[in-house]
Amino acid sequence: MENNLEIVSRPHARNLIEWAKDKPRVVVLSADLTSSCEVDTFRDTYPERFFSMGMAEQNMLGFAAGLAREGFFPYIHTFAVFITRRPFDQLAMSIAYPNLPVRFIGFLPGITTPGGVTHQAIDDIALMRIVPNMTVLEVGDATEVESVLDVAQKSNGPVYVRMLRGEVPRLFPKSEPLQWNHARVLSKGNDVAILSSGICTEEALRATNALAARGVSIQHLHVSTHKPFTDPQILDALDATRHGTITMENHLLTGGLGSATAELIAEHGIGKKLFRIGLRDTYAHGASRAYLMKKYQLDALSLVRAVENLTRENFGLTEEDLAQVRLTEMHSAAKAEAL
Amino acid sequence: MSAMPFLSQHETRTVAQKIRRRVLDSVIRNNGGYLSQACSSAEILATLYTRVMNLGPSLAPMIPLPFPGVPSAQNQNFFNGSLYNGAHEPHLDRFFFSPAHYALVLYATLIEVGRMDAQGLEQFNQDGSTVEMIGAEHSPGMETTTGSLAQCLSQAGGVALARKLKKETGRVWVFMSDGELQEGQTWEAFAALAFYKLDNVGVYMDVNAHQCDGLMSDVMSVEPIRARLESFGASVLEVDGHDINALTYPSTLEHPNKPLVVIARTDPARGIEILRTRAPKYHYVRFQDEQEREQYREWFEEMK
């Protein structure tokens, strides 16, 4: 598949250096995954603000708590699984209970890694959503990678960031940074509402472009704040859709975007159908991202099938049709209309 | 009140005995509690508060305030139990209390050193109170939430690292229990304290050799503690945990580039001999019947 999108190499690595330049109280803690989490350049640029904690996440979180109590802003960098699973008790008791401003930068969300079940964070959003005081953010492109730190830093409590590394496409213009608790409206319509997050948004765009060409009217929102989940735009979309809503996430169906959406629908008595795309109560395994997205039905074709299911129409779209879609940078539809 | 001047050995021993007695009184009145912990740690805590730590005067009310709600972005009323240990000033020491179930011993200590009113203990384990059975960071004398054991040393390590970065001269004292050596996090923490040369950290460890299930040597041995800690890069002294002078001495020593650990070997029934009938199940005392409670009352009267 070819796109007309800019591919940014290691956006976090470059952005963090620049961003932290005038923030002397920002410190980075790493648990032996320094290059893997793109903080090797931070280490080399600001060695006095970089702390190697070894493969010892429980202790790393305790140290972060102590540093935060003393006025520092610890940015913990490791794989998401090693933040949200192994040291969960430390995260809850040492950091979240006292509402300390520790930032957890978690890499390798869901099936983005061939590292297999041990390295694939398929449950991190769920685990972080249930932690009181925690803010939960997820980036979907290079622009969000470059702007999420500003949003995280505004919180006076703990923040979990589901981060992307390596070659990251720029889906959204640089001039439209990630905004706290404010979804991006990527298209407006009222047949179907689609809420997508993280890497699923790029995949969803492939389907929504093709579906729009078939005359389907879609309200497509890209969600980057999982908690709080009180963006009125989301509620409006859930309410206004004719056939129902589809959520699409690189995560288990339980506890993530789909669950949060179901809670909203139920609590507000919205009598519309919800179809959730995500991992269905299963672990994944080590393989390529493209293979896994297809195998676990997180791909564009699965979204087309979900729209067909809701609308009871058949659009005759094939994998080849979707592969032909050329994505370009997505300006916020809401903003475009406001202008 | 002003900070308490350093006390003589005799005076500190008296403080320790009063701590033990006050805890026994509370346990009798509440028909149960963590009594053995007072037996083993009374001299350690008395020594820390009257001969080791350089703390400012308490900033907290003598009668503890009610629970202010949990910390959150919305709750501006939250206060920290470390107010009882004085101001956070660059030159002053800080105190971190790891085995949160020893809270009653800490409250009794605060009373005996004049940082809390005896009336405050009336709120112990009462609904809506901060004087909780297993304290947390709103409880008198506690700065962090450590009831999930072995999380305190890492947090204190982070504070110690921050204080080094800020070039503060005050020290960071940690009181912990030997059972916490069974948790992997403790060893992660000791590795990091040595790696970052945090010689502003001093750990007093109540090694009473008992835990919830009984003798540590039956549950999961952590010996030889001294050799293990030394091999992790700590400067270690092993002392009689009921000897005031022996407990004080390590705090006067230089231990450049290394954290200090004082292994205080203690007796879980010290000063309350009738407790020995419960060996090795010392962890929590719940009286079998009124007759047993009466025996402890008689012992309490004799402690006067």
Q: Which tokens in the block code for residue A20?
A: 């932290």
Question: For A203-229, what is each residue's pLDDT tens digit?
Answer: 999 999 999 999 999 999 999 999 999
Question: Average pLDDT for residues A197-201, to the nearest whole number?
Answer: 98
Which of A137, A169, A201 is the C-terminal boundary of a domain? A169
- Give the C-alpha separation, B81 to B101, whole Å: 15
- Per CB-CB distance under 8 Å, the chain B contacts of A66 are 154-162
Rounded CA separation B267/A230 (Å): 56
B137-163 pLDDT per residue, tens:
999 999 999 999 999 999 999 999 999
CA distance A265 to A161: 25
Q: Do A58 and B184 touch (CB under 8 A)?
A: yes
Which residues are registered as beta bridge partners of A159? A103, A135
Whether the Cβ atoms of residue A330 and residue A171 lie closer than 8 Å to each other: yes
Together in a domain, A120 and A236? no
Q: What one-character-per-residue DSSP string does A70-98 give? A: TT-EEEEEEEHHHHHTTTHHHIIIIIITT
Q: Which of B72, B143, B151 sits opposite A62 (nearest CB)?
A: B151
Within 8 A of B143 by CB-CB distance, chain A residues are 69
Interchain pair A54, B163: CB under 8 A = no
Domain shared by A300 and A265, yes or no = yes
Domain count, chain A: 2
**A113 to chain B, closest Cα gap in Å:** 28
Q: What integer pLDDT is reported at residue A188 of this predicted model?
A: 97
A27 and A116: one domain? yes
Separation CA A107–CA A145 (nearest Å) = 12
- Residue whose structure tokens are 């969960």: A88
**Mean predicted confidence (pLDDT) in A291-309:** 97
How many angstroms separate the CA atoms of A281 and A122, rounded?
Answer: 10
ω into A47 cis (within 30 of 0): no
Give chain A's radius of gyration (CA, Å).
Answer: 19
Q: Token digits for B289?
A: 């019947």
- Is the minimum CB–CB distance between A281 and chain B shorter than 8 Å? no
pLDDT in tens, A233-250: 999 999 999 999 999 999
Domain C-terminal end among A141, A169, A197 = A169
- What pLDDT was estimated at residue A2? 59
CA distance A110 to chain B (A): 27
**B226-267 confidence digits (pLDDT tens):** 999 999 999 999 999 999 999 999 999 999 999 999 999 999
In the numeric block, which tokens belong to residue A145? Answer: 């990678």
Domain B12-66+76-302 has CATH 1.10.10.10: no
Report how far residue B51's alpha carbon sits from residue B66's, in angstroms, rounded to the nearest whole number: 30
Contact by Cβ (8 Å): A100, B80: no
Identify the residue whose tokens are 């030159």: B91
**Three-state DSSP state, B281:** coil
CB A96 within 8 A of CB A132: yes
Write the DSSP assignment of A324-338 as a string of letters.
TPPP-----HHHHHH
- Which domain, by its residues, includes A116? 7-169
Task: Based on the fold, state whether residues A310 and A258 are members of the same structural domain.
Answer: yes
Q: Are residues A72 and A194 in the same domain?
A: no
**Type of residue numbered A180:** W
A212 and A120 within one domain: no
- Residue B8, burial from CB neighbour count under 10 angstroms (0-12, 13-18, 19+): exposed
Average pLDDT over residues B57-76: 96
DSSP per-residue string spanning B56-86: PPP-S-SSPPBP-----SS------GGGGG-
Determine the Cα–Cα distance for residues B110 and B131; give it in Å rounded to an integer: 12
Residue A249 lies inside a defined structural domain of this protein: yes
Cβ–Cβ < 8 Å for B147, B176: no
A258 SS3 class: helix
Q: Looking at residue A142, which CATH number applies to its domain?
A: 3.40.50.970
Q: How confident is the model at residue A333 (pLDDT cuts 50, 70, 90)?
A: confident
Tell me if B192 and A157 make a contact (CB, 8 A cut-off). Answer: no
Alpha-carbon span B163 to B200, nearest angstrom = 9
pTM of the model: 0.96
| pLDDT at residue B4 in the model | 62
Residues 6+ apart with CB under 8 A from A320: none
User: Which of A129, A144, A169 is at the close of a domain?
Assistant: A169
Contact across the interface for B192 and A94, Cβ inside 8 Å: no
A328 and A253, same structural domain?
A: yes
Residue A195 maps to which CATH number? Answer: 3.40.50.920
Give whole-number Cα distances, A100 to A27, A70, A225, B136, in Å. Answer: 14, 10, 19, 15
Q: Please check whether residues A74 and A110 belong to one and the same domain.
A: yes
Residue A7 bridge partners (DSSP): A169
**Residue A175 falls inside a structural domain:** no
User: What separation in angstroms does the CA of A101 have from each of A51, A69, A93, B146?
Assistant: 17, 8, 14, 18
Residues 108-147 of chain A with CB under 8 A from chain B are 132-133
Q: Which residues contact B23 (CB under 8 A, 6 or more apart)?
A: B33, B34, B35, B37, B38, B42, B104, B105, B108
Is residue A240 located within the same domain as residue A99? no
Task: Decide the pairing of beta strands B201-207 and B172-177.
Answer: parallel
Q: State whether residue B175 is helix, strand or coil.
A: strand
Residues A15 and A163 in one domain: yes
Q: Does residue A117 share a domain with residue A192?
A: no
The pLDDT tens digits of the residues spanning B77-125 come to: 899 999 999 999 999 999 999 999 999 999 999 999 999 999 999 999 9
pLDDT grade, residue A334 (50/70/90)? Answer: low
Tell me: do A25 and A163 sit in the same domain.
Answer: yes
What whole-number distance in Å separates Cα of residue A250 and Cα of residue A199?
7
- Asked if residue A53 is part of any domain, the answer here is yes
Q: What is each CA distance from A110 to A123, A137, A286, in whole angstroms?
A: 8, 15, 11
Q: Which residues of B touch A (CB under 8 A)?
A: 70-73, 136-137, 143-145, 147-148, 151-163, 165-166, 184-185, 188-189, 191-192, 195-196
For B201-268, the three-class secondary structure string (H helix, E strand, C coil) is: EEEEEEECCEECCEEHHHHCCCCCHHHHHHHCCCEEEEEECCCHHHHHHHHHCCCCCCCEEEEEECCC
Interface test with A, best of B96, B134, B142, B154 (most A CBs within 10 A): B154
Q: Is residue A178 part of a domain?
A: no
Q: What is the C-alpha to C-alpha distance for residues A127 and A129, in angstroms, rounded to an integer?
A: 6
Q: What is the pLDDT of residues B195-214, one digit of tens each?
A: 999 999 999 999 999 999 99
Tens digit of pLDDT for each residue in A148-194?
Answer: 999 999 999 999 999 999 999 999 999 999 999 999 999 999 999 99
Whether B264 and B13 have beta carbons less than 8 Å apart is answered as: no
